[in-house]
Amino acid sequence: MEQKRLGRGLEALYGRLDSVKLSNNDADGTQKTNSGSVIDVPISQIKENPYQPRSRFAEDSIENLAKSIQHNGMLQPLVASKINGTYQLICGERRLRALKKLGYTTAKVIVHDKCNDEDLLKKALVENVNREDLNPIEKAEGLQLLNKKFSLTHEQIADSIGMSRTGVTNLIRLLELPVEIQDAVRSDLITAGHARAILQVNNLDKRNKLISKIVKDNLTVRQAEQLARKFNTVSAGSEDSAGTAENYDTNSIASFLEESLLTKVSIEKAGKLYKLNIQFNSLDELIDFASRLGYTAG
């Protein structure tokens, strides 16, 4: 089975992880990867990451992962830091839960030097952003924790996890919404783009009207943004001009692309033309992106 490429944030933090097939019958002993030694660790000694940004684990997802491990083995080991005789999990909580469900008593683990709380949160965020697609509210909560608890600026957060500063700021702003609207994002009733459109509306009653309209009429993000601007318009005359392409906010498009592509994106306007800039840190990333669009090497 072909090994999945890690996201660029993970590779930056850990290096490339070699594929390690795991089964109950694996022989004891240390194996090597480019990022460190892989050892067998009793599962009872592995503690969950207290800064795990994912707050909900779907049981059917864990069940499916357990079946996959049972039939195919586990392609990548867990990642942990040894602290006071136990192993603090950094990456792989879904895999750990699946192993427990299967009744495993040991797990293959890459052991890193002792991590502080900030490292635990950063690495857990990067793993989930690149591998498991945290919902936008969970991402926002993790980013806000880096900002509030560890006093990192939005720029520092962006640099450390491979996002743009604008993307970080836009995600954290979602937490300004009422809990009910945040829950709508968590449950995929609306997207983060819809939520950003709702943020444009200052009046709470109008925000509730907008989310009802989004769900009832299945509005696109652009339609929601146009309606949000109309809700904020005082005069009918300005309503007509509010939804024109000239006033359209391209930041929301850039943020959406950044969240989808997991890389920095910017949009520049030059006269009537728009220029889309997508940043790739290596030729491999560019080729991987092109392949997803149907490119094949000649």
The correct answer on CATH 1.20.120.330 for the domain covering 8-130 is no
Q: What are phi and psi of 20, to 5 degrees?
A: -125, 115
Q: Is the pLDDT higher at 80 or at 281?
A: 80
Q: What is the mean pLDDT of the chain?
A: 76
pLDDT recorded at residue 143: 87
The CA distance from 210 to 196, in Å, is 12
Q: Is the pLDDT higher at 32 or at 87?
A: 87
| pTM, to two decimals | 0.55
CATH class entry, domain 135-289: mainly alpha
Tens-digit pLDDT profile for residues 113-165: 667 767 766 776 666 555 555 788 988 888 888 888 778 888 888 887 777 88
Tens-digit pLDDT profile for residues 45-60: 998 877 776 667 778 8
Burial state string for 223-261 with b = 16 or more CB within 10 A and e = fewer than 16 = bbbbbbbbbeeeeeeeeeebbeeeeeeeebbbbbbbbee
The CA distance from 4 to 76, in Å, is 10
User: Count of CB atoms within 10 A of residue 67's CB?
Assistant: 13
The CA distance from 270 to 234, in Å, is 30
pLDDT recorded at residue 244: 46
Q: What are phi and psi of 97, to 5 degrees?
A: -65, -35
Of 86, 82, 129, the C-alpha closest to 110 is 82
Burial state string for 111-147 with b = 16 or more CB within 10 A and e = fewer than 16 = bbeebeebbbbbbbbbbbbbbeebbbbbbbbbbbbbb
Same fold, 8-130 and 135-289: no
pLDDT recorded at residue 23: 37
pLDDT recorded at residue 29: 46
Domain range annotation of the chain: 8-130, 135-289
Residue owning tokens 């109309």? 230
190 within 8 A of 214, measured Cβ to Cβ: yes
The CA distance from 204 to 186, in Å, is 20
pLDDT recorded at residue 20: 40
